Amino acid sequence: MRCARLFLALVLAASLPFNTIARTAPGFVAPFAKSQMVAAANPLAADAGLEMLRAGGSAVDAAIAVQMVLGLVEPESSGIGGGAFMLLFDPKTKKTTSFDGREVAPASARPDMFLGSGGKPRTKMEAIPGGLSVGIPGVVAMLEMAHRKYGKLPWARLFQPAIKLADNGFPVGPKLARTIKGFTRGANMPDIKARFYHPDGTPLAQGEIYRNAEYADSLRKIARGGARAFYTGEIAQAIVDKVHNAPVNQGGMTLEDLANFTPLEREPVCGPYRAWRLCSMGPPSSGGIAIVQILGMLQRFPASQLQPGTLSEVHLRAQASRLAYADRAKFVGDPAFVKVPVKGLLDKDYIAGRAALIDPAKDMGTAAAGNPPEKHAALSPQRSPVLHGTSHMTIVDKTGQVIAMTTSVESVFGAEVMVKGFFLNNTLTDFSLDPVLDGLPVANAPAPGKRPLSAMSPTIVFDPNGDFLLSVGSPGGPAIIGYVAQTVVAMLDGGLPPGEAIALPRQLNLNSPTRLERSPTNDALEPQLKAMGHTVTVVTGEGSGLHGIRKVKGGYIGGADPRRDGVVIGD
């Protein structure tokens, strides 16, 4: 079955003409490229990436060009005012590394910063808009760090496509138009009102031309002056002014906070799945640990029980997810502040012990966190918020360098305030708004200089020889972990090409009711899952935005999530 599907995908791919073939309708079965590929959330952004690859750029160069365009055409999801994680496979050393451009809390942050009167946490909705939720943006410094090590083209060259588009304008895409229209909550925030609504109050519609000269100007400065031009000087001053004078929830970020921002290169988190090996992002993301745990538990079951969309697959994945999400909520935070028992959580025997808690016939209900075999503090699990505004791209260049990068302003339109043509993130609301729960500290409590916990999971899978096999990631807040785990299992055990795996109806369990995305497959599963003890919530349209690439004989096939505007292109 697995081979047949892949074979079919390849036959279809090979029957398409070259160079143009990889442009695809989202979800199309198998765009194919021989030597290089870009999968990203917007066609204009993907074009900029491919332009860099064609000019001899590396995957990192292409990622920078893609990011700069995304900040213009998909500003609700990511941009230079936000943060990101980039996973990178270096074909020369056959090593995987990761870059951490997660936002950092300013020196003025306090554990109780999101508590309201009476010491109760404010709702996330109340805490998001304005200046208080803004973390020190990390994208620009992280990309510069990656470029110094892995870039080939001059830094300034990578900004050209975005500058041109920002000056000349581009037709608003379906997702941006949909987002503006649906974003009634922030419609009165002055920056959003001024930029995305007409004077008569009607929202900018799909196809209308949108220009952003201020953004072009910011990009010119960064192109010329490097990250320094973002973290000091005019742009930094504008960020500080905006945070201090936000229409609501003013914050205390300073010029010093910005000037001190330092991105990090980190060891990724890796683990086995059957004969494969996968790497993903480690703390301060919970994504890598949770995905390695979920797959580590599932490998106890034969692939025949993990065929995409079958009752056994959905049930088993829900159980493994419950256990992983329980550990995530309790143990993971910024490793500079809490001793995260990474080794213990990834310990083979520990994971096998957790897998033994799975009953193949019955839902276990709310899972409790385990007791990993490594020293850890007594902590209370945090409560997970929802809502998301994030983007994922994955790129492979001619040399075989692969990047998987998840990038975010956190919620839709971030903190809903703009500076010099870009949105500021609200990533500090990714902290547990409660610093203490049930008398115990929470690993992910706010603190000055701390990075909030993330679920972003840029993931790369290797074949049994250690060669690149596939790369994937998604937006979706805490649900990212579930989206990525489902897609990886569907590609590995189900043998589905990326486009099909990505388009599958979602089933998730975040250690709460089992969440089914409305679809005929899930309508059929619902009563069967209920009969196994699952409480089920049905949602219309999950917020995944997966982009993936898979190595196949003679090249690559890719997939883009039909839930967003993404494409896969290549040569």
Q: Could you say which of 410, 416, 493, 542 contacts ligand GLU (CB under 6 A)?
A: 410
DSSP structure string for 96-119: EEEEEE--B--TT--TTTTB-GGG
User: Least separation, in Å, of the C-beta of 75 and ligand GLU?
Assistant: 14
Classify each residue of 329-358 as buried b or exposed e, where b means 16 or more C-beta atoms within 10 Å of its C-beta. bbbbbbeebbebbbebbbbeebbeebbeeb
Burial class of 452 by CB neighbour count within 10 A (0 to 12, 13 to 18, 19+): buried
480 binds ligand GLU (CB under 6 A): yes
Q: Which two tokens stand for residue 472?
A: 């994937």
Per-position b or e across 151-173, b if 16+ CB within 10 A of its CB: bbbebebbbbbbbebbeeebebb
Q: Smallest distance, Å, CB 388 to ligand GLU?
A: 2
CB of 83 to ligand GLU, least distance (A): 8
Stretch that binds ligand GLU, among 9-17, 121-129, 218-226, 448-456 (CB under 6 A): 448-456
As a 3-state breakdown, the chain gives helix, strand, coil percent values, each rounded to 5, of 35, 20, 45
Tokens at residue 212, please? 């952003």
User: At closest approach, how far in Å is the CB of 272 from ligand GLU?
Assistant: 25
Cβ closer to ligand GLU: 70 or 496?
Answer: 70
One-letter amino acid of 467: D
Contact between 213 and 219 (Cβ < 8 Å): no
CA-to-CA dists, residue 251 to 143, 306, 350, angstroms: 26, 48, 42
Looking at the Cβ atoms of 390 and 394, the one nearer to ligand GLU is 390
Is 458 among the residues that bind ligand GLU (CB under 6 A)? Answer: no
Q: Are 49 and 403 contacting, i.e. CB atoms less than 8 angstroms apart? A: no
Give the residue with the Cβ less far from ligand GLU, 283 or 497.
Answer: 283
Beta carbons of 426 and 403 less than 8 angstroms apart: no
CB of 85 to ligand GLU, least distance (A): 8
Half-sphere exposure of 130 (CA within 13 A, CB side): 17
3-state secondary structure of 377: coil
The pairing of beta strand 536-539 with beta strand 514-517: parallel
Residue count, binding to ligand GLU (CB under 6 A): 14
Q: Can you tell me which of 50, 342, 456, 549 binds ligand GLU, judged by CB under 6 A?
A: 456
Site string for ligand GLU, 154-183 (x = CB under 6 A): ------------------------------
Q: Does 139 bind ligand GLU (CB under 6 A)?
A: no
Task: Identify the residue among 390, 407, 507, 544 touching ligand GLU (CB under 6 A).
Answer: 390
HSE value, Cβ hemisphere, 13 Å, CA-based, for 50:
22
Closer residue to ligand GLU (CB): 101 or 151:
101
Cβ proximity to ligand GLU, 137 vs 475, nearer residue: 475
Interface residues for ligand GLU in 411-430 (CB under 6 A)? 427, 430
Q: Which is nearer to ligand GLU, 444 or 471 (CB)?
A: 444
Site string for ligand GLU, 360-389 (x = CB under 6 A): ----------------------------xx
Provide the minimum distance between the beta carbon of 475 and ligand GLU in the complex, in angstroms, as a whole number.
4
DSSP category for residue 272? E
Q: How far is the CB of 456 from ligand GLU (least distance, A)?
A: 5
Task: Pick the catalytic residue from 24, 97, 390, 406.
Answer: 390
Q: Which is nearer to ligand GLU, 40 or 216 (CB)?
A: 40
205: which 2 tokens? 């519609």
The conformation of residue 303, written as its DSSP 8-state character, comes to: G
Is 427 a catalytic site residue? no
Ranges within 226-285 binding ligand GLU (CB under 6 A): none
Q: Token pair 């309201």 is at which residue?
A: 116
388 or 450, CB closer to ligand GLU? 388
Nearest to 64 by CA among 141, 133, 129, 9: 141
Contacting ligand GLU (CB under 6 A), which of 295, 455, 525, 552? 455
In the complex, the smallest distance separating the C-beta of residue 490 from ligand GLU, rounded to whole angstroms, is: 20
Does 314 sit near ligand GLU (CB under 6 A)?
no
- Nearest CA to 103 out of 225, 244, 243 is that of 243
Question: Quick one: 284 or 497, whose CB is closer to ligand GLU?
Answer: 284
Q: Give me the active site residues, please.
A: 390
Binding residues for ligand GLU, per CB under 6 A? 388-390, 408, 410, 427, 430, 454-456, 475-477, 480
